[in-house]
Structure 1
């Protein structure tokens, strides 16, 4: 493998950070992972666990020359219980492949991401990815039933329960959901797959009348839509407006759901809460609408250097945060824009500039993270802490929680070989 081949593993998807690893190891089995980590632990060799490398916080690439342990070849589906809807697979399975597989059995993965064509389910779980439909199906803490994990020492930890209810002792597998590869390497996953909905509708718009059938509420601002239009030639089906809402419903009765959606649209139009809208139930129109949201990260890769932040704030401050940052950076930025999961308070805030500078990064983050703390928000809603946000975690977390996290890391990985410099800055 030459340096060009290594770039895929050393450079993150957003080209924000670059490691210098010369070694990528691709095991196929849990036993191989165990032997690799046992050796690395004994020799005090640092390891960077990596899935599809779509992480945006710098968690999935080495900081220096750590050995990259890739799950690329751990891509086997082990079993699917069609009665319970429980899927068991290796951690390197690509999310979209899993969803296609269970779709044949009229099931779906409770997770949907723009990077679904390349991200790995193990990486999704390691970062506790939220995605487009957390509003309907909840977080991975509620959907992952069990995990098989290899500890830093090489010991295999079997928590691969497929039971929906198992209340015996500590729920150890939850330790690894969101741990970003710092406590162990995920090898196998048991995940609950809900049934597919019989009726799906998508509208450019949201309100409480749709509660029992609502599955996603996404917001896109004008600068975000402009970015998609300029770089990908995708345009809004309803012309230009200040904000856009993508509202998706999923239910079991198409007539009932369509009636509820039409009633909702009529009420918000009559009260001037929206100025225009479009509905799609046909697959082609449905996918075209979703592409406006899902391809946004692809679009802003062409918009200069983009500082991107994945935040959770109380809903009353949801877009005000974007406006505050826009005012703070002023003419120093080419574009400040926001989009995200309105249904769960997760805003993706982007600041595009001509080129990267440490001064600009500090100017943004000193202001932004102070504001997040004042609002009792989170500096990472769904993409993890990784390397880029690790320096800020201790100031956001309360002291007792941060100390406990460090104690767990020391217990699980005493030689600190797993994903060093990530999350806790060890």
Structure 2
């Protein structure tokens, strides 16, 4: 049935910045994971005086209470001990800071919006946080070519809002768009909701401005779409997670903004039908298909408890917030194009086809912009909903399409077998394991919602999840990166030769290892 949506301390170390673990709501990362501090210098009064010569007082944060937000990740899973946050406004200031830190061997952590999910943007020990939050200027936009140049600290949503006024769109969309920074997106090679349509940042980023560990500035912001002169050096920094340099500027190609957007929210009886629906969509919708997201039933139950609104596929008389139809899987499909009549006709024909052969058993289509946004919340809201019971273990992996959901089923079975999982019994640490993600690029998000972070649960999941992914020839990180969480598991996706080459590159550009230590590899 298809219907319209119902809206429902040393001698020389400064002591005034001493951080007490009691100030944080979770155990320090260094203690929790028994990490040994690297051979780095400790912050001194002389260091602070030097930074004062580069920055204004309001560009330095030393207050214990203010430091907490920079020391803790979004999920409250990782907690560092930084005594200083620096907020440079220019690339020149970043260069001077890094040159000094490299000379003194002071470890640093580049930080954008701090929306990362693998502990890559927060300190482990007392690393200096270099925040790009004050580097937030839009540098230029060429309406003819679509080339957009921005500071690294521009918020993704602000970038897209600017482009919307010019008839263009930023080729990346994330649930965290209201707080994540463009530089951080590039540093982690974020994939997002519309990679199916616009591809990865490896293709859309034209040039970067990056400050290396010794303060050297690499500037390729002038790059054209076609440039075959030598190595494409910018690719080294896309997805490098601040381990090779700090991105301060981004030049990116932005396509014309679609004039017609439709959303269909569908109910399906099996994962096999999800695959069949995608094959048909790719064939029949072709150039207007911009997103194809899938969600399992339990993920929608979690979202319903968090959103407290009626599910899109509920009948009119079903008003309870927990009333989620018993379809095993759901699909959110988006089309975007330039002609509404053309797009509407293609979508209508597609829906008639997949409902006629019972690939899809239920569905609704957005009727206006408000309904479109409402439908997206049932996909984008899962990540936050997974945290509502205490915490969440997140696994962002790539797998062949036919084995993608098998990982979720394997994890659910393992947790039950180990007597760790129950939605009813609050004595069990795991509330639920759910799966959702981007069918178009084989990216599964496995979320294990827990009542508390628990070592027993962690041991049950790791390396089990990574072994499964490796066995099925997938990748242990599709878009969140490696950060702190996955640094020890890179061998499940990369060969010994590849890992050695990565380490060689890291050593070449950051021989003292000051950039984001304890992460990545």
Runs of 4+ in 1 over 4 A off after TM superposition: none
Q: Which residue of 1 aligns with 2:237?
A: 176
Question: Are 1:381 and 2:478 counterparts?
Answer: yes
> 1-side partners of 2:387 and 2:204: how far apart?
32
Q: Which residue of 1 aligns with 2:400?
A: 314
Deviates more, 1:131-140 or 1:4-13: 4-13
Q: Which residue of 2 aligns with 1:216?
A: 291
Q: Which residue of 1 aligns with 2:208?
A: 147
Q: Is the 8 A contact 2:476 2:492 kept in 1?
A: no
The number of equivalent residue pairs is 424
> 1-side partners of 2:310 and 2:129: how far apart?
40
Q: Which residue of 1 aligns with 2:305?
A: 230
Q: 2:518 aligns with which of 410, 421, 425?
A: 421
> 1-side partners of 2:460 and 2:380: how far apart?
29
> 2-side partners of 1:161 and 1:59: how far apart?
29
Q: 1:276 aligns with which of 339, 351, 362?
A: 362
Q: Is the 8 A contact 2:387 2:449 kept in 1?
A: no
Aligned counterparts, 1:221-370, within 5 A: 221-239=296-314, 240=325, 241-330=327-416, 331-333=419-421, 334-370=431-467
Q: Which residue of 1 aligns with 2:139?
A: 78
Cα deviation, 1:44-75, whole Å, max 9, x if unaligned, reads 00000000000001100001110000000000
Deviation at 1:270, TM superposition (A): 1.1
> 1-side partners of 2:504 and 2:150: how far apart?
31
Q: Find the residue that maps to 2:462 and give its secondary structure.
A: helix
Deviation at 1:342, TM superposition (A): 1.1
Q: Find the residue that maps to 1:308 and give its secondary structure.
A: strand
> 1-side partners of 2:332 and 2:65: how far apart?
39
> 2-side partners of 1:366 and 1:44: how far apart?
34
Question: Are 1:29 and 2:29 counterparts?
Answer: no
> 2-side partners of 1:134 and 1:48: how far apart?
28
Q: Is the 8 A contact 1:332 1:353 kept in 2?
A: no
Question: Are 1:167 and 2:253 counterparts?
Answer: no
Larger radius of gyration: 2
Deviates more, 1:348-357 or 1:283-292: 348-357
Q: Which residue of 2 aligns with 1:102?
A: 163
Deviation at 1:253, TM superposition (A): 1.4
Q: Is the 8 A contact 2:292 2:331 kept in 1?
A: yes
Deviation at 1:16, TM superposition (A): 1.1
> 1-side partners of 2:88 and 2:203: how far apart?
29
Cα deviation, 1:6-37, whole Å, max 9, x if unaligned, reads 11111100111010101000000000000000
Deviation at 1:281, TM superposition (A): 4.3
Cα deviation, 1:137-171, whole Å, max 9, x if unaligned, reads 00000000000000000011111134111111111
Q: Find the residue that maps to 1:332 and give its secondary structure.
A: coil
> 2-side partners of 1:394 and 1:417: how far apart?
23
Question: Are 1:53 and 2:114 counterparts?
Answer: yes
Cα deviation, 1:66-92, whole Å, max 9, x if unaligned, reads 000000000000100011011101000
Q: Is the 8 A contact 1:210 1:261 kept in 2?
A: yes
> 2-side partners of 1:395 and 1:272: how far apart?
39
Deviation at 1:203, TM superposition (A): 0.3
Query: Gapped runs of 5+ residues in structure 2?
Result: 1-61, 267-277, 315-324, 422-430
Q: Is the 8 A contact 2:169 2:254 kept in 1?
A: yes
Give TM-score, length-normalised by structure 2: 0.80
> 1-side partners of 2:130 and 2:512: how far apart?
17
Cα deviation, 1:93-127, whole Å, max 9, x if unaligned, reads 00000000011000000000000000000000000
Question: Are 1:372 and 2:469 counterparts?
Answer: yes
Q: Which residue of 2 aligns with 1:92?
A: 153
Once superposed, what is the RMSD of the aligned Cα atoms?
1.0
Q: Which residue of 1 aligns with 2:46?
A: none
Deviates more, 1:229-238 or 1:316-325: 229-238
